[in-house]
């Protein structure tokens, strides 16, 4: 690699300004970002991203699920591009860095290579994957999962949000239902930079997480059917209280996840009483459950034990409990050669680092099933994410973007 390329550093101030410039799309009073996928704020950031890519000389393409691709030409256009990027949608109580750092660092890599006049051997392709978060439409990482062949495009287009709007309608609503077939754009490799969203790097004073694995995930949609009745006249032993049953389910999820600790986790993140009223015993509740573990056998054991616990709760409380697994993501093993490339770039740049398993799901975990993929983590303050307090330092974001750039240069090759 040329001397220029090997000493290249991204423009730290420009990356930092870019992250904070886009944070205005969906900015919340508490300093977070609420940018639900395919909503008006997502359209704003997508339009911004498209313009920034075009200004950086990229050809912008959009696929049938709205995922965006900015292609930077390489010397040999017959070779598949190295992909880099993440997502720009956020959780309802999201922060400025989840997904955003990886997508905008990819843009910064292109801007830096442009400034340095560096041409790579293979093309590069920066990516903004639709709906990584899975908050408005389930499952999470749906567009990259469809890209990897886990779902058909039509299956995803028909997914509905809580108000009954489909993915297809939402894409049309913001003008991002592209013409490109999902999965048609091939990559030679894919690298994603992301905040860790956990406490390890900060606690160990490490700048870079070299991600070699990702947890397995199972998502469930649950429904409890009891019996609405008068809060004043129904004796306690005669009640079929759906909310009391859910309370036992929540504690069972916590107990069973802890029993499979220290890495297994379980969460009931949503619960909606069908017809809530202060003086009516809840008769019907919809709820969701998210369980994770780096180990497939542990996931299956938790699934079995949850169903056993629910059968007991249903019998004792004379309620019906429906519990459907709607998404199963096996644990991810990232490509060892790419993981080594991340580690080598990190060492060459002199950053402290450690190998790490991703507790969160990411688009790279789907890409890893069809193309060599790897991830780079940087710390976030107190390990907090999916919270408006999410924070990271300019130095760590810069370090992550430098590792991303040098890993991509090692994979793509430098032509001039």
| Rounded least distance, CB 132 to Mn ion, Å | 5
- Residue 214 interacts, among Mn ion, ligand HGY, none and using kind-specific CB cut-offs from 5 to 8 Å, with none
- Cα 268 to Cα 222, 231, 251: the distances in Å are 10, 26, 9
- Residue 361 interacts, among ligand HGY, Mn ion, none and using kind-specific CB cut-offs from 5 to 8 Å, with ligand HGY
| Rounded least distance, CB 260 to ligand HGY, Å | 18
Which C-beta is closer to Mn ion: that of 99 or that of 168? 99
CB 171 within 8 A of CB 38: yes
Residues binding Mn ion (CB under 5 A): 98-99
Contact between 133 and ligand HGY per CB under 6 A: yes
| Rounded least distance, CB 134 to Mn ion, Å | 8
Strand partners, 221: 288, 324
| Rounded least distance, CB 224 to ligand HGY, Å | 24
Work out the angle between the directed axes of helices 12-22 and 394-412 (0-180°, nearest 10).
110
- Residue 140 interacts, among Mn ion, ligand HGY, none and using kind-specific CB cut-offs from 5 to 8 Å, with ligand HGY
Residues 6+ apart with CB under 8 A from 90: 26, 32, 33, 34, 35, 36, 98, 99, 100, 133
Which C-beta is closer to ligand HGY: that of 292 or that of 353? 292
- Cα 173 to Cα 166, 218, 395: the distances in Å are 10, 30, 38
Rounded CA gap, 73 and 224, in Å? 54
| Rounded least distance, CB 217 to ligand HGY, Å | 7
Which C-beta is closer to Mn ion: that of 79 or that of 381? 381
* Peptide bond connecting 212 to the previous residue in cis, omega within 30 degrees of 0: no
Q: Is 376 helix (H, G, I), strand (E, B) or coil?
A: strand
| Rounded least distance, CB 72 to ligand HGY, Å | 27
Chosen residue from 26, 85, 361, 379 binding ligand HGY by CB under 6 A: 361
Contact between 192 and ligand HGY per CB under 6 A: no
Which C-beta is closer to ligand HGY: that of 293 or that of 402? 293
Instruction: Give the other-Cβ count within 10 Å of 40's Cβ.
Output: 12
- Binding residues (CB under 6 A) for ligand HGY: these are 132-134, 140, 360-361
């Amino acid at each position: 690699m040329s001397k220029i390329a090997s000493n290249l550093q991204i423009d730290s101030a420009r990356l930092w300004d870019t992250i904070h410039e886009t944070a205005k799309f969906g900015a919340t009073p508490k300093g977070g970002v609420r940018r639900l996928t395919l909503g008006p704020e997502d359209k704003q950031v997508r339009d911004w991203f498209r313009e920034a890519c075009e200004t950086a000389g990229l050809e912008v393409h959009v696929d049938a699920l709205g995922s965006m691709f900015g292609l930077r030409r390489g010397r040999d256009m017959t070779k598949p591009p190295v992909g880099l990027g993440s997502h720009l949608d956020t959780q309802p109580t999201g922060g400025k860095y989840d997904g955003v750092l990886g997508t905008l660092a990819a843009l910064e890599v292109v801007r830096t290579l442009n400034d340095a006049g560096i041409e790579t051997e293979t093309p590069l392709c920066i990516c903004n994957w639709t709906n990584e978060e899975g908050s408005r439409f389930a499952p999470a990482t749906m567009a990259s999962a469809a890209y990897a062949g886990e779902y058909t495009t039509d299956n995803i287009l028909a997914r509905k949000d809580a108000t009954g709007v489909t993915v297809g309608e939402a894409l049309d609503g913001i003008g991002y239902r592209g013409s490109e077939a999902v999965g048609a754009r091939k990559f030679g490799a894919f690298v994603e930079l992301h905040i860790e969203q956990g406490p390890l790097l900060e606690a160990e004073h490490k700048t870079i997480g070299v991600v070699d694995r990702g947890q397995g995930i199972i998502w469930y949609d649950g429904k409890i059917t009891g019996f609405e009745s008068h809060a004043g006249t129904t004796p306690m032993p005669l009640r079929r209280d759906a909310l009391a049953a859910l309370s036992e389910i929540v504690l069972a999820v916590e107990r069973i996840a802890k029993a499979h600790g220290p890495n297994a986790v379980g969460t009931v993140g949503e619960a909606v009483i069908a017809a809530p009223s202060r003086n009516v015993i809840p008769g019907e509740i919809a709820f969701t459950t998210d369980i994770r573990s780096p180990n497939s056998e542990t996931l299956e054991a938790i699934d079995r034990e949850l169903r056993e616990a629910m059968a007991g709760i249903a019998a004792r409380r004379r309620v019906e409990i429906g519990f459907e697994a709607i998404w199963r993501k096996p644990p991810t093993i990232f490509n060892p050669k790419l993981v080594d490339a991340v580690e080598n770039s990190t060492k060459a740049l002199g950053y402290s680092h450690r190998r790490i398993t991703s507790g969160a799901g990411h688009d790279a975990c789907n890409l890893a099933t069809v193309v060599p993929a790897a991830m780079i983590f940087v710390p976030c303050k107190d390990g907090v994410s999916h919270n408006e307090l999410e924070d990271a330092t300019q130095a760590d974001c810069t370090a992550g973007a430098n590792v991303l750039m040098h890993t991509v240069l090692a994979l793509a090759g430098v032509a001039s």
